[in-house]
Chains A and B, each alone.
Chain A
Amino acid sequence: MGKRPSLITVAYRTDEGQPWVLPVVKKVEQKIANDTSLNHEYLPILGLPEFRANASRIALGEDSCAIKENRVGGVQCLGGTGALRIGAEFLRRWYNGNNNTTTPVYISSPSWENHNSVFVNAGFKDIRAYRYWDAAKRGLDLEGLLEDMESAPEFSIFILHACAHNPTGTDPTLEQWKQIAAVMKRRFLFPFFDSAYQGFASGCLDRDAWAVRYFVSEGFELFCAQSFSKNFGLYNERVGNLSVVGKDTDNVQRVLSQMEKIVRTIWSNPPSQGARIVATTLTCPQLFAEWKDNVKTMADRVLLMRSELRARLQALGTPGTWNHITEQIGMFSFTGLNPKQVEYMIKEKHIYLMASGRINMCGLTTKNLDYVASSIHEAVTKFQ
């Protein structure tokens, strides 16, 4: 395990390199199993009501004006992917006209590789990239991003990572988000948030939802695709929610009714197990507290690995700057390793990472930190 660290895993790993079923999830599953009043009947098309309402509440906050004004709706979906797909299908049918497949969809450069596919398969014909990652400075290309937004056709759709940008781990600061929101408002651009790591990034649910909530408070109508795969560790149960924030109740109701039609021809109604686990947890104060604690455990371990890795690289005097390792956030880090260096890591050191230089911090453990750090050091000193 220590000698062939895999930094391409897409799931959380403990310090022993093992998958981790959250203790609160185990508890809730037991509760569900013991509840003989439960059965396997169909959920409604839009999903389990307690799940939808609470999932949206988690994203938008307890004191969300949008929730208080009853202009939020949720669609239970199959993971974050499912939420993105349902949202994309809806936008293609109803946004910016009727069945307008030419509305430009902007995806960050780089982004999760499936984003493109989702929107193409939903029927959009004009998928574009907006500048995001600045390889030279190993950070956010804010200037390029804002320029791309200024020059984007009005009503373009922008896919925004709510936090813990995948794959770069680089998020806009609060001030930068404000600038982004201002441009998007002025240019009538549609915000479609992808929130796959709420709680997992900083360890704090509210902090990780700041951008989404800010946009809502600025009066935007938006979509937010939420995944509970990582923050609940429910990967294979496929638990997601598409939160719809609209101008008023009536609009949201009509949107939801059309969402039903879309869902009905893709999966009819969503799977119940994962939604039950999340709903049970979110609606019970003790379980909710325990969940937040479990989430913080995961986030803290990742933060620790970040600081330990950076410290070792700096101690070794590895050429280059390594502060991006701790400045980046979430599961992934764009190390900045070039293809030759990556090849060295894989072939000579048996450390598996993506060709882009992306590593999953969860693959690091106290046992393999030294090995990984020294390997990076070798790779960087041997190849420039």
Chain B
Amino acid sequence: MALLQPARRLLSAAAQRHLCLAPVAARASSWWSHVEMGPPDPILGVTEAFKRDTNAKKMNLGVGAYRDDNGKPFVLNSVRKAEAQIAAKKMDKEYLPIAGLAEFNKASAELALGDTNEVIKSGRYVTVQTISGTGSLRVGASFLQRFFKYSRDVYLPKPSWGNHTPIFRDAGMQLQAYRYYDPKTCGFDFAGALDDISKIPEQSVILFHACAHNPTGVDPRPEQWKELAAVVKKRNLFAFFDMAYQGFASGDINRDSWAVRHFIEQGINVVLSQSYAKNMGLYGERVGAFSVICKDVDEAKRVESQLKILIRPMYSNPPINGARIASTILTSPDLRKEWLEEVKGMADRIIDMRNQLVANLKKEGSSHNWQHITDQIGMFCYTGLKPEQVEQLTKEFSIYMTKDGRISVAGVTSGNVGYLARAIHQVSK
């Protein structure tokens, strides 16, 4: 046995690494020889490709980041003012609690549900600060994985945000789908959605986009939401709302959160992810929240304790900068008012660009029906373009979007809408 030891040691080290990837003879192999090169992120990778493009007419319609009519990032005035106020206070940099900034959490829940909501008044909820929308979804998914005993299945609308699937999967859940987008109409497949949802096994998790569905821009109408809530209630499904665009969709924060509030009113205790990346332009500050509507205050406290146990080994406690800005805005009447106007301004510009795009496509002589562009809502538009057409747009016109034909209308300006229309017409005529 002793004689074999040294040889075994040498072999076992090599055996652990795939010998087919033979490294240069002199250098010992790496632990990572078998690690494959990962593909670029389907959404964020688009921006990275865009940055490398040297064409002066290039357009980035990939990631959902708002641009002003000059195509520039927009830092909201209300944000700048809040930042100045915060700087003047000269606060320390002590750790936040695991659940984050309490004033932010409270203000965030109130924004979503309305401050007169019975849930807020009774306190039968918990809200924790998270790393923007992604962090919120991950905390939520991990919470379900650990505590939702009834099912591993999460039903996403077809299609959904590309990152939903890997988030839930990495958290240990399984993904299923319900019909949502109708490619024939470029609109909502209401009948299909109802049909699928009515057949989902009871006590499954179902995810809804609260407003401004990503990637399609197709939202149910209020009457349709009512029927969806009814069937969710009937099938005893667990509703997970993802609200990344409150205020940004219609320009009205109450209108955009109507579906969430309706479900709760119907007695459905939802969980909710919120992001302030878009509606406050706080993208890189990573501001978000995760809320659980509970039976009562006691349940809320128990849930909160478990959320903290999940968060601690992820990143200990959240970053303060963005949450302080958001909280300042939400809780100062003047700033809040100014913020609401700025959000409406962003939403209005997007609606205007939708109108201009359709007008320009008509001018180009396109024979297609582009009404869906103006029917859809929010930052994104499902153009209906196919992957080959998207590729052509990128290769020939340096117009970047995701493969599914989704464009970020926020990236369109009055200066480039004509170019975009021409390009789309060229690849689709």
Contact = CB atoms under 8 A, between A and B. Distances in A.
Given A19-B94, A235-B94, A268 B134 contact: yes
A41 B65 contact: yes
B92 A19 contact: yes
Interface string A92-105: 00111110000000
A135 interface: no
A42 interface: yes
Contact of A254 (B36, B282, B315): B36
Interface in B262-295: 277, 281-286
A122 to B, nearest CB: 8
For chain A, give the interface size range: 35 or more
Given A19-B93, A267-B286, A236 B320 contact: yes
A345 B43 CA distance: 57
Contacts of B56: none
Interface in B74-103: 75, 79, 83-84, 87, 90, 92-96
A20 B315 CA distance: 23
A94 B16 CA distance: 11
Contacts of B133: 268
Interface in A229-280: 229, 233-238, 246-248, 251-255, 257-258, 260-262, 264-274
Contacts of B25: none
B315 A261 contact: no
A292 interface: no
A120 interface: yes
Interface residues of B, number: 65
Interface in B32-71: 32-38, 41, 44, 48, 63, 65
B150 interface: no
Contacts of B65: 41-42
B28 interface: yes
Given A154-B12, A236-B317, A265 B35 contact: no
29 contacts: A19-B93, A25-B93, A33-B84, A39-B75, A41-B65, A42-B283, A78-B315, A82-B316, A94-B32, A94-B34, A114-B312, A118-B313, A121-B313, A188-B12, A188-B13, A235-B94, A236-B320, A237-B319, A237-B321, A251-B32, A251-B33, A251-B35, A254-B37, A264-B163, A267-B135, A268-B44, A271-B131, A271-B321, A271-B322
Interface of B: 9, 12-13, 16, 23, 27-38, 41, 44, 48, 63, 65, 73, 75, 79, 83-84, 87, 90, 92-96, 131-135, 138, 163, 166-167, 169-171, 277, 281-286, 310, 312-322
